Amino acid sequence: MASENPTTSEYIQHHLTNLTYGQLPDGSWGFAQSAQEAASMGFMSINVDSMGWSIAMGLVFLFVFSRAAGRATAGVPGGLQNFVEMIVDFIDDTTSSIFSHKNDLVAPMALTIFVWVWLMNLMDLVPVDWIPMLASAMGVHFMKVVPTTDPNITMSMAFSVFGLILYYSIKCKGAGGFLAELSFHPFPKILAPINFILEFVTLIAKPLSLGLRLFGNMYAGEMIFVLLAVMFSGGIAVNLLGGVLQWGWAVFHVVIITLQAFIFAVLTIVYLAQAHDVEEH
């Protein structure tokens, strides 16, 4: 951290600052040493911690599920196989109840999104000081370990889904059909400009609803954990209260991280179902 005995404001800012790599004020490239320096790097920079932890959680997902698949048996399944099959069946049933079209990509993608987002969210339950303090001891100034508290991560996922929405909308409805959907609903065709504005806003709202909802909820949850951690700098009574509140919020947060992962996956299925829907045309 910037000092051995940081103020509350410095402590909070430190925990909410990403390890950012980009162009420094002197023109060289390197890691930002302050939040202000990170912000000044602009678009041509990368939050290394968010990217690293998101990739790590993706690898954990691949390792666990590939291991379960490799050990799958038709006999009495083990605990890992039961757990994985339960998640797969849950996502498959959810997809089947929403997506009535034929597309072998949707269910696996929904499963990947749900598990990957859940694992990234799960990092919020790691005590806020553990990994940053370890990183600081290794000479790393900043370390945010919850990728979904970084809008760059959540919005990149959202726009990836949005790209698929546009692709399947044009593939299933044709370019003309897709433009007609944007221009001729909900009002009569004579009001096409108004229809287009309204439908275009609805279209753009899809990636925003995916990315910003996840980011906002997870960022708020992380902020609460950081604020509760500040209480441990008080006396014994405040420390005990902080510990109880931390535990209570962590238990409640298990529900939040699961719900946010599920919402992201379900909205993805819903939006792709809408992209495939050609009944109105």
Measured in whole angstroms, how far is the alpha carbon of residue 35 from the centre of its chain? Answer: 22
Domain presence at residue 40: no
Asked if pLDDT for residue 32 goes beyond 50, the answer is yes
Asked if pLDDT for residue 218 goes beyond 90, the answer is yes
Domains: count for the chain: 1
Helix/strand/coil for 77: coil
Per-residue model confidence as pLDDT tens digits over 109-154: 999 999 999 999 999 999 999 999 999 899 998 999 999 999 999 9
Give the active site residue among 103, 195, 213, 239. 213
Confidence of residue 189 (pLDDT cuts 50, 70, 90): confident
What is residue 281's predicted lDDT score, i.e. its pLDDT? 42
Q: Tell me the helices (H) and strands (E) count for the chain, helix number first.
A: 9, 3
Give the H or E element holding residue 36.
helix 35-40
Per-residue model confidence as pLDDT tens digits over 37-47: 988 898 889 99
Please give the mean pLDDT across all residues of the chain: 92
Domain presence at residue 2: no
With a pLDDT cut of 70, the percent of the chain lying above it is: 98
Give the active site residue among 3, 136, 209, 239. 209
Domain presence at residue 166: yes
Token pair 């604020």 in the structure block, residue: 227
The model's pTM: 0.92
Interatomic CA distance for residues 31 and 4, integer angstroms: 21
Burial environment of residue 189 by CB neighbours within 10 A (0 to 12, 13 to 18, 19 or more): exposed
Domain presence at residue 92: yes
Tokens read off for 89: 């069946």
Asked if pLDDT for residue 174 goes beyond 90, the answer is yes
- Of 42-51, 135-144, 232-241, 247-256, give the lowest mean pLDDT range: 232-241
Interatomic CA distance for residues 198 and 194, integer angstroms: 6
Asked if pLDDT for residue 261 goes beyond 70, the answer is yes
Give the active site residue among 152, 217, 233, 239. 217
Domain presence at residue 30: no
C-alpha dist (Å) from residue 77 to 111, 119, 125, 233: 21, 24, 29, 48
Active-site residue flag, 209: yes
Query: For 32-54, what is the mean pLDDT?
Result: 92
Domain hosting 214: range is 50-140+147-276
Domain presence at residue 44: no
Domain presence at residue 96: yes
Active-site residue flag, 183: no
